[in-house]
């Protein structure tokens, strides 16, 4: 049963995951933490951190990790990763086939105009969800946040930032 739920959940995440990895975080959080209760918020946030430090798309990394944690074996990983890829693969294939027609379609443009603010809202929700007591434990964590925000705004590589934050964590905690 858990395999069926895992498959359906990640199929849903793949299907509604507009806006790329960061927007998908709030979708994953809602599905995995709020609705299914498979992981805690902190567990998911740590998985996101690991996903950012390892190569590959965040959504794929996350699916592989959650699939393993929930079932305790490789098949869960394989199932979740496959499920999250099926909708983008099929939808993007259709788009590639009808690319010329879609490009000039005004309905497509109308839908995109309305989906765009939703995507930004989803990314915003992901950020707000993790601005909690587990993340901000003291003044140092607020300083780390501010420093990383500034550095990332200046387009400093995220892996370097996470590595520095890890070292700072080791030094002060």
Partner 1 sequence: MLWQLFWTFFKIGAFTFGSGYAMIPLIEQEVVDKKKWFDKESFFDQFSLAQSAPGPFAVNTAVFVGYKMRGKLGAFVSVLGIIIPSFVIILLIAMYLSDFSENVTVISAFKGIRPAVVALIAVPCVRYFIELKKWQMPIAIAAAIAIWLLGVSPVYFIFGGSIIGIVTTYFKKP
The count of chain residues that interact with partner 1, using the rule CB under 8 A, is 111
Contact at 8 Å (CB) between 113 and 18?
no
Between 1 and 166, CB nearer to partner 1: 166
Per CB under 8 A, contacts with partner 1 among 119-158 are 119-131, 134-137, 141-142, 144-149, 152-153, 157-158
Interaction of residue 3 with partner 1, rule CB under 8 A: no
Residue 48 makes contact with partner 1 by CB under 8 A:
yes
- Residue 47 CB, shortest distance to partner 1, in Å, is 9
Distance CA 162, CA 148 (A): 9
Query: Does residue 116 interact with partner 1 by CB under 8 A?
Result: yes
Q: Considering the rule CB under 8 A, would residue 12 count as an interface residue with partner 1? A: yes
Cα distances (angstroms) measured from residue 164 to each of 57, 77, 127, 151: 22, 30, 20, 11
Nearer to partner 1, 1 or 155 (CB): 155
| φ, ψ for residue 160, nearest 5 deg | -60, -40
Q: How far apart are CA 152 and CA 90, in angstroms?
A: 34
Q: Does 6 bind partner 1 (CB under 8 A)?
A: no
Whether 55 and 155 have beta carbons less than 8 Å apart is answered as no
Name the residue nearer to partner 1 (CB basis): 2 or 108: 108
Residues 135 and 141: beta-carbon distance below 8 Å:
yes
Contacts of partner 1 in 67-96 (CB under 8 A):
68-69, 74, 77-78, 81, 84-85, 87-89, 91-93, 95-96
For the chain, the C-alpha Rg in angstroms (whole number) is 18
């Amino acid at each position: 049963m858990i395999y069926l739920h895992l498959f359906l959940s990640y199929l849903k995440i793949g299907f509604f995951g507009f806006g790329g990895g960061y927007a998908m975080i709030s979708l994953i959080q809602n599905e995995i933490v709020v609705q299914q209760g498979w992981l805690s918020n902190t567990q998911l946030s740590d998985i996101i951190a690991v996903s950012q430090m390892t190569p590959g798309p965040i959504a794929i990394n996350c699916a592989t990790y959650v699939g393993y944690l929930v079932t305790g074996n490789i098949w869960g990983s394989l199932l979740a990763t496959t499920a999250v890829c099926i909708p983008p693969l099929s939808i993007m294939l259709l788009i590639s086939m009808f690319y010329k027609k879609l490009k000039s379609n005004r309905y497509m443009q109308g839908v995109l105009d309305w989906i765009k603010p939703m995507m930004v809202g989803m990314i915003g929700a992901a950020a707000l969800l993790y601005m909690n007591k587990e993340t901000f434990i003291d003044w140092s964590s607020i300083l780390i946040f501010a420093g990383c925000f500034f550095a990332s705004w200046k387009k400093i590589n995220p892996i370097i930032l996470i590595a520095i934050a890890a070292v700072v964590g080791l030094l002060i905690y």
